[in-house]
Amino acid sequence: MSNWETIIGLEVHAQLSTESKIFCGCSTRFGSEPNANTCPVCLGLPGALPVLNRRAVELGARAALALGLNINERSIFARKNYFYPDLPKGYQISQYDQPFSARGTLEIMTADRDEAGRAHEWRPMTINITRLHLEEDAGKNVHEGLPEVDRYSYIDLNRAGVPLAEIVTEPDFRSSWQAYDYVNHVRRALQWVGASDADMEKGNLRCEANVSVRRIGDTAFGTKVELKNLNSVRFMQKAIEFEVERQIKTLEAGGRLVQETRLWDERLNETRPMRSKEEAHDYRYFPEPDLPPLLVTNDFVAGVRASLPELPGPRAKRFIEQYGLSYADASQLTSDRSLADYYETAVTASDGNARGAANWIRSELLRELENAGLTAQNSPLSAAELGALVRIIDGGKISGKQGKDVLVEMFKTGKSAAAIIEEKGLVQVSDTGEIDRVIDEVMAASPNQLTQYRAGKETLFGFFVGQVMKASKGKANPRVVNERLKEKLK
């Protein structure tokens, strides 16, 4: 295997988070009745004319800027002609030789993984982005869950005309984990700026990988295989890994590869051919005559840029410098924007215990969120309350161990830390002045025991501890009670 080099290029299709479709006013809502969100434009009826949705351009610009790409002042919509039942017009409106953005670079962080999939040594890597263009999605053929699916194909055109940004890279990746880190980077960036929900399960982020291998030292590319049906970033990584091994084995056994499209079968953990032979595509692209060139002014781009939040990369860097976090902490806390916001609110509420807040979020809160299938955004335990809990623990009011139970209870009930500590009577009194006062009361109320103890009956020490704990209603810190009693009973 070590004589071989892997070459991977990626295409990501991200659905832009508009309310309506890219060339008509139909809703983009997911999960509507089949064909409910259609009109003459997206049904491709004769004479219907497309009108570009300004919001799709804004979100496309947010996506491009979040990835550090330039936006072309002028881009052209083009018809990509092909025949398929889910494409009623017989062509898809896309962009071809003059796309929205072209020839960019993107810096990502990537790491090799050990057998258990653990990352080590994160390092930067520059990826060349061929293009980011805007286009409409096609509809969907449905072959499952409907009557007589063995006899009929069903067509749902709700998705036809939904806006997409397609992001294409050069064949720059040399391992499945680099591809994995890249797609995660893109997904986070698009979610971060609100350009796309980028939810692979709902199909609003889809990726395809072009994979080939060649002997180290060769300059020509090997036969490439296109992988589809990659429903999660992890499946994509596994599919590439499987495919690389399959290609090397085939070539080492003296076999030949065919250029084809293969699908990932997540049940069998393998790729299988989708079409026996890739037909040479001839899409006969030509400029869309019903849409004028898309002109984007500098003012428009400046306006979009000014409206972007602090991006994940710079924010992670700031977390490291400002809060003294490790790279791992900072990158986890900036894995989504709501979590980064959550963290900073918690730091403020904790009176600036940046490391403490990071630890409580990473070790306790994220586990609770994951178990409940929630994110920081809809956490029942607010950032301000988590910060308050950290502050209370720092103040010695309750122990860290008690704090863990309190956090779980806060998460479950949505109550404040103070309320739960009060309810459970968890408050620990460690204040020596307060404990001394209780001890004085107990000593005054037990003159006989005091005389006997001082005469040498040391077994009475336990009696005094019991009395003090009782008088403090169990809230006194037992360690402090012991120390102070030894001192005062002398």
Residue among 41 and 198 whose Cβ is closer to Zn ion: 41
Query: Residue 66 interacts with Zn ion (CB under 5 A)?
Result: no
Of 14, 16, 26, 417, the one binding Zn ion by CB under 5 A: 26
What is the smallest separation between the CB atom of 166 and Zn ion, expressed in angstroms?
A: 21
- Cβ burial of 251 (10 Å; 0-12, 13-18, 19+) is middle
Residue among 288 and 329 whose Cβ is closer to Zn ion: 288
Query: Residue 421 interacts with Zn ion (CB under 5 A)?
Result: no
Question: What residues have CB less than 8 Å from 120, skipping those under 6 apart?
Answer: 111, 112, 113, 114
Residue among 90 and 474 whose Cβ is closer to Zn ion: 90
CB atoms within 10 A of CB 2: 5
Total site size for Zn ion, rule CB under 5 A: 5
Residue among 22 and 108 whose Cβ is closer to Zn ion: 22
Question: What residues have CB less than 8 Å from 483, skipping those under 6 apart?
Answer: none
- Taking CB under 5 A as the binding criterion, the range among 20-28, 437-445, 451-459, 466-474 that sits at the site for Zn ion is 20-28
- Region of 172 (left: φ > 0; alpha: ψ -120 to 50; beta: rest) is alpha
What is the smallest separation between the CB atom of 41 and Zn ion, expressed in angstroms?
A: 5
Residue among 288 and 385 whose Cβ is closer to Zn ion: 288
Residue among 42 and 230 whose Cβ is closer to Zn ion: 42
What is the smallest separation between the CB atom of 43 and Zn ion, expressed in angstroms?
A: 7
Residue among 48 and 257 whose Cβ is closer to Zn ion: 48
Query: Residue 109 interacts with Zn ion (CB under 5 A)?
Result: no
Residue among 42 and 193 whose Cβ is closer to Zn ion: 42
CA distance 330 to 357: 12
- Taking CB under 5 A as the binding criterion, the range among 36-44, 126-134, 250-258, 288-296 that sits at the site for Zn ion is 36-44
Is residue 220 within 8 A of residue 23, CB to CB? The reply is: no
Residue among 27 and 70 whose Cβ is closer to Zn ion: 27
Phi, psi of 437 (to 5 degrees): -60, -45
Residue among 39 and 408 whose Cβ is closer to Zn ion: 39
Residue among 24 and 354 whose Cβ is closer to Zn ion: 24
Q: Count Cβ neighbours within 10 Å for each residue of 152-186 and write b for 16 or more, e otherwise.
A: eebbbbbbbbbbbbbbbbebbbebbbbbbbbbbbb
Query: Residue 296 interacts with Zn ion (CB under 5 A)?
Result: no
What residues pair up with 8 in beta bridges, in sequence order? 173, 211
- Taking CB under 5 A as the binding criterion, the range among 37-45, 54-62, 390-398, 415-423 that sits at the site for Zn ion is 37-45
CA distance 48 to 190: 32
What is the smallest separation between the CB atom of 155 and Zn ion, expressed in angstroms?
A: 15
Query: Residue 381 interacts with Zn ion (CB under 5 A)?
Result: no
What is the smallest separation between the CB atom of 15 and Zn ion, expressed in angstroms?
A: 16
What is the smallest separation between the CB atom of 59 and Zn ion, expressed in angstroms?
A: 18
Nearest to 12 by CA among 164, 137, 162: 164
Query: Residue 22 interacts with Zn ion (CB under 5 A)?
Result: no
What is the smallest separation between the CB atom of 160 and Zn ion, expressed in angstroms?
A: 8
What is the smallest separation between the CB atom of 87 and Zn ion, expressed in angstroms?
A: 14
Is residue 23 within 8 A of residue 40, CB to CB? The reply is: no
Binding to Zn ion, residues 313-372 (CB under 5 A): none
What is the smallest separation between the CB atom of 19 and Zn ion, expressed in angstroms?
A: 13
Residue among 48 and 274 whose Cβ is closer to Zn ion: 48
What is the smallest separation between the CB atom of 57 and Zn ion, expressed in angstroms?
A: 18
Of 27, 32, 34, 39, the one binding Zn ion by CB under 5 A: 39
State how far Cα 381 lies from the chain centre: 20
- Taking CB under 5 A as the binding criterion, the range among 34-42, 108-116, 384-392, 406-414 that sits at the site for Zn ion is 34-42
Query: Residue 389 interacts with Zn ion (CB under 5 A)?
Result: no
What is the smallest separation between the CB atom of 158 and Zn ion, expressed in angstroms?
A: 9
Edge-first strand order for the sheet with 286-287 is: 91-95, 77-81, 286-287
CA distance 325 to 361: 13
What is the smallest separation between the CB atom of 55 and Zn ion, expressed in angstroms?
A: 15
What residues pair up with 128 in beta bridges, in sequence order? 105
Query: Residue 24 interacts with Zn ion (CB under 5 A)?
Result: yes
Residue among 39 and 142 whose Cβ is closer to Zn ion: 39
Question: What residues have CB less than 8 Å from 210, skipping those under 6 apart?
Answer: 8, 9, 10, 11, 171, 224, 225, 226, 227
Query: Residue 93 interacts with Zn ion (CB under 5 A)?
Result: no
Of 8, 10, 16, 42, the one binding Zn ion by CB under 5 A: 42
Query: Residue 41 interacts with Zn ion (CB under 5 A)?
Result: yes
109-114's contacts with Cβ under 8 Å and 24+ in sequence apart are 109/181, 109/185, 109/331, 110/177, 110/178, 110/181, 110/182, 111/177, 111/181, 112/175, 112/177, 113/177
Instruction: Give the pairing of strands 225-230 and 260-265.
Output: parallel
Q: Where are the beta strands (DSSP E) in 190-342?
A: 205-215, 225-230, 260-265, 270-273, 286-287, 294-295
What is the smallest separation between the CB atom of 121 and Zn ion, expressed in angstroms?
A: 50
Give the binding site for Zn ion (CB under 5 A): 24, 26, 39, 41-42
